[in-house]
Structure 1
Amino acid sequence: MRRCGALQGRCTEQAITQDHEIERLRAELMRSRARVIVRDSLLAWEREERQRLQRTLNSWAIYGGATAARAAPVGRAHSHVDADEDPDVDPALLEHSLHAADLVICQTGCVSQDSFWRVEDHCKRTGKACVLVEQPDALRIVRVHPSGKTEQLAATSWDEKEPS
Structure 2
Amino acid sequence: MRRLVVKAAPEMARLDDYALHSAAVQMGRSRNRLAESIQDELDQRHATIVKALRRLPDRVSLEAAWQEAVTAGEIAGALWATLTHPACDPILAEVISQQMHMIQHQAGASLRLDIAHYRALQEENAALARSLATAQQRCERQSQEKAGELEQLQAQLIRTRSEVISRDTELGALREELEALRAAVPDQAARRRLEHQLMYQEERNARLCLENARLRKELDAALSAPAPSVALANASVLPDEVAPEASLEGHRILCVGGRENVVVVYRKLIEQAGGQFLHHDGGVEDRFGQLDSALGAADLVICQTGCISHNAYWRVKDHCKRTGKRCAFVENPSAAGLARGLRCLLSDALVESQDEVQTAVSGSAMTAGMQQT
TM-score, length of structure 2 as denominator length? 0.19
The structure showing larger relative contact order (alpha-carbon pairs under 8 Å, at least 6 residues apart) is: 1
TM-score, length of structure 1 as denominator length? 0.40
